[in-house]
Structure 1
Amino acid sequence: MGQRFYESPLHRSLRFAARAGATLPVFMAPMSGASPVSLASAIANAGGMGACGALLMSPQAISSWADEFRQHSSGPFQINLWVPDPPPVRDAAAEERQRAFLGSWGPEIPADAGDTPLQDFEAQCLALLQAKPRVISSIMGLFPPSFVDEMKAQGILWFATATTAAEARAAEAAGADVIVAQGAEAGGHRGAFHAANAEAEAVGLFALLPQVCDAVSLPVIATGGISDGRGIAAALVLGASAVQIGTGFLRTPEAGIHPTYADRLEKTEAHDTRLTRAFSGRTGRAVRTRYVEEAAARGPAPAPYPVQRALTRSMRDEAAAQNDPERMQMWAGQATSLARPLPAATLLQTWWEDALTYLR
């Protein structure tokens, strides 16, 4: 709806990028645990927008990340937070079965392993406001009204991730400035507002995107399964004002992911990924490894998030130390095979030049 359908996709996207403080409408997706300053600043310096997935970060770590970014770039960046789920319903017997299963894949899991607390969400929000990024983005729900008011008072844009048209309408009503339409092709966690609906309501990006654009009057960013100029151009033609790319940047030298992870991504095609709750208890798209497949076929039901994440930590840590890809947590989108081991700036510029050949 609105003006975006009365101007060319190229003009619309460049105008939006300028509003966001960028030159190009190609932004980094915020990836928890995979958002080093080296990658975010390289993307921002090349004309895009950098990003930080702050879910696992303490307030001090958030502040330090923002300070370090500004030492390397004057470009824009966003910081992303998960909106907390209600406290998980714990089941001691089910967790014992899960610990026994995981013990066959790695170290013995202590009985209290699932008690690991989350970061303090309110303290994280305060750190975000103090860091003053160009954008604060949400996933898994909507920010509290008081926090939205504080963002707006400081001129910080709110990018709200939505996985359905209904979620997009709710985000617009709550005061979001931009909707990030996340397709089911996306690597990592599905951003559904209600965890139980994440798999049943999984919608591919190019079916979701035009429906979200029709449902709201806000600019829409497309994310999930985009890793080249063709995908960028297609998203903009379908109504997006920009795109966010995550997995497509993971093989860059600036991403610095585990070499075994990077090697596996090179060999991963779309059908080599699947949605799973086996690592965190929340639905996410990961590489099909032996652990992921066995957990789905013969494992007990995963514990809820974040209990399952805490229970699998020892296995994940040991797998990384032993360079064992079959037990590693390797989030990956369905366009993984399009990722290239090139510098981030080179990728971004190449993708945009390719997109222009379609948009013009």
Structure 2
Amino acid sequence: MGGTGAAADVAGAAEADDGADPALPASFGHDFERQVDALLEARPPVFSFVMGISPGNVLAEARQRGIVTLGAATTVDEAVALDEAGVDAVQIGTGFLVTDESGASPAHKQALRGPQARVTMLTSAFSGRQARTIANRFVRDLARYEGDLPPYPLQGALTEPIRRAAVERGLPDCLNLWVGQAAPLTRPRTAQGYLAALVEETRPRV
């Protein structure tokens, strides 16, 4: 199936969801290299990233330009890997999604607490840009079209009605269940309790 066919399938599903054509973005994002160039030229005070570790040359150039780098981790091991890569600080991602104070949808929290959180995959099905999600019906059905899907942010605009309806109706099989690689290690608790546990686990390693 060609790119237009895959796009038509997704657009048709979005239209059927609420009876209206999906709103397309006025402009489209740049590729990673151009985004990095723009970031380094702008020299923001802080550069944060998620879902992996930015390339070493990017981190090194950011440091040379006085930009503080922040990476996302869920476990102490991930934080150690980021520290060894040379980031200035570590921020917490997936671990806070299941906390009492999290704004994640109930369906997202339930998926994180269930056995399905053990199976994650990289997909561009929801946004057109690869990200890690708990494997569900939506990403599995579109996996064979990965090479044909529209790029970010067009794919995100096409699937937005589906994702919105999935949240409203509590349908995890059609929801973008973003996670890190340590999703199975998360568990329900307060944000304060989670942070306290991380501090205790980190003490022997600092």
**TM-score if structure 1 supplies the norm length?**
0.47
1:72-91 counterparts in 2 under 5 A?
A: none
Matched residue, 2:204: 357
User: What letter is aligned with 1:338?
Assistant: L
1:240 and 1:300 map into 2 onto residues whose CA distance is: 32
Instruction: Determine which of 156, 161, 166 is the counterpart of 2:57.
Output: 166
In 2, the alpha carbon distance for the partners of 1:102 and 1:300 equals 17
Unaligned runs of 5+ in 1: 1-92, 120-139, 152-156, 181-221
- CA drift of 1:286 comes to 0.9
Indicate whether 1:246 and 2:134 are aligned.
no
Residue identity matched to 1:334:
Q
- Alignment map for 1:203-242 (pairs within 5 Å): 222-223=71-72, 226-232=73-79, 236=83, 241-242=88-89
Whether contact under 8 Å (1:270, 1:334) holds in the other structure is: no
- One-letter amino acid of the counterpart of residue 323, structure 1: G
**Distance apart, 1:228 and its partner CA:** 3.5
Give the residue type in structure 1 aligned to 2:133: A
Residues matched between the structures, number: 196
Q: How does 1:89-238 map to 2 (within 5 A)?
A: 94-95=3-4, 97-104=6-13, 107=16, 113=22, 115-117=24-26, 140-141=35-36, 142-143=38-39, 145=41, 147-148=42-43, 157-159=45-47, 161=49, 163-173=54-64, 175-180=65-70, 222-223=71-72, 226-232=73-79, 236=83
* Cα contact 1:97–1:300 (8 A) shared by 2: no
Whole-angstrom CA distance in 2 between matches of 1:116 and 1:103: 17
Deviation at 1:356, TM superposition (A): 0.4
The Cα of 1:257 is off from its aligned counterpart by: 1.1
User: Any gaps of 5 or more consecutive residues in structure 2?
Assistant: 29-34
**Paired residue type of 2:94:** T
More relative contact order, 1 or 2 (CA 8 Å, 6+ apart):
2
Cα contact 1:230–1:358 (8 A) shared by 2: no
Residues 109, 96 of structure 1: alpha-carbon distance in 2 compared, 3 angstrom cutoff: farther
Sequence identity (%): 28
Structure whose residues are more often helix by fraction = 2
Rounded Cα–Cα distance in structure 1 between residues aligned with 2:86 and 2:147: 42
TM-score (norm 2): 0.77
Instruction: Give the Å deviation of 1:283.
Output: 1.1
Give, in angstroms, the shift of residue 165 of structure 1. 1.4
